Amino acid sequence: MTQHLLSHEGTIEVPGGQVWYKAVGGGPLPPLLVVHGGPGFTHNYLTPLEELAENRQVIFWDQLGCGRSECPTDPGLWTMERSLSEVDAVREGLQLDRHHLFGNSWGGMLVQQYVLDRRPDLVSLIVSNSLASMPLMEKETARLKLALPQSVQETIDHHERNGYYSCPEYQGAMAIWFQHYICRLQPWPRGLEECFAGQGAEIYRTMVGPSDFNVTGNLKEWDILGRLHEISVPTLFVAGRYDECTPEHMRLMQEQVSSSELALFESSAHMPFYEEPSAFMTTMKDFMARAEGAA
């Protein structure tokens, strides 16, 4: 559907190195800047959002340390504050002023923090399948694990206790977790497979930890729930019924933001743009059009 759209690629200097970006489409409507998850994954799994580029530019980039961007080895780079500075550099490098800002998963964490700390003049904010409290996320992850078969729980727990993260048995158990709470499609879409292939694993370990069940990184105490009421830009929260970022968590987030709404996708986990693409795109287009009309 989007094969005929023009696109261009380039690099931008950010704190710590250069990042690669791709801008798709164009037109009179405000651009959409897309921030991918991880931390340490790549933009590839978000390419379905190119469908939104018929009358606007949709811009992706691989964050520093993953995909087609430079991959420095200094673990001191992998912090929230440096990531906020990276968003600053990307917006400046692309000369973006008023635009829509979309973040999925870790990208949703980053864009929320960015709006709170930088106060950019945005048309809208879209927080997709994300969280606002890592301590709360840990509790919910433990709860969701209890819904898995007992043998899968025991396999995860045994390997987590012993640090056997590379064992095939552990990887098989985690595949079941992913199929329940990340993407329920089988087989997985190509873009999602490419994302896992190009990830910067060290970034995830530094900021989160060895796994979703063992959060030891520098985001362990990250919690902005008490600040979300400061967000005044029109905001859309996107949740999936079966997401590891639970709809209960996202409802709690949405309730803190006065100019916001929640879109819940009943047949999706963490990837509604794959799992319910038509409904997702309709929701995005409608919300952005209303935000543009209000602006």
List, for residues 155-202, the tens digit of each pLDDT value: 999 999 998 898 999 999 999 999 999 999 999 999 898 887 877 789
Q: Quote the crossing angle between the two packed helices 247-256 and 134-145, to the nearest 10°.
A: 160
Mean pLDDT lowest among 1-5, 106-110, 288-292 = 1-5
Task: Give the pair of three-digit tokens for residue 199.
Answer: 């990830």
For 278, counting Cβ atoms within 10 Å of its Cβ (0-12 exposed, 13-18 middle, 19+ buried), the class is exposed
Q: Which amino acid is at 236?
A: L
Give dist(CA 160, CA 213) in Å, integer: 8
10 Cα distance to chain centroid: 22
Measured in degrees and rounded to the nearest 5, phi and psi for residue 294 equal -65, -35
* 95-133: pLDDT as tens digits: 999 999 999 999 999 999 999 999 999 999 999 999 999
Task: Give the pair of three-digit tokens for residue 163.
Answer: 């640090």
128 closest CA partner among 35, 64, 211: 35
pLDDT of residue 218: 97
- Angle, alpha carbons 81-31-93 (nearest 5°): 50
Concerning whether 74 is annotated as a catalytic residue, the answer is no
* Mean of the per-residue pLDDT values of the chain: 95
Concerning whether 166 is annotated as a catalytic residue, the answer is no
**How many CB atoms are closer than 10 A to CB 5?**
16
Task: Give the pair of three-digit tokens for residue 76.
Answer: 């001191």
* 38-89: pLDDT as tens digits: 999 999 999 999 999 999 999 999 999 999 999 999 999 999 999 999 999 9
Concerning whether 100 is annotated as a catalytic residue, the answer is no
Active-site entry in 99, 128, 130, 243: 243
Strands 7-14 and 29-35: unpaired
pLDDT of residue 1: 46
Active-site entry in 36, 43, 83, 105: 105
Yes or no: say if 104 and 129 are a contact pair by the CB < 8 Å rule.
yes
Give dist(CA 224, CA 253) in Å, integer: 9
pLDDT of residue 3: 54
Residue ranges and CATH numbers for the domains of the chain are 7-133+190-294 (3.40.50.1820)
Give dist(CA 156, CA 83) in Å, integer: 31
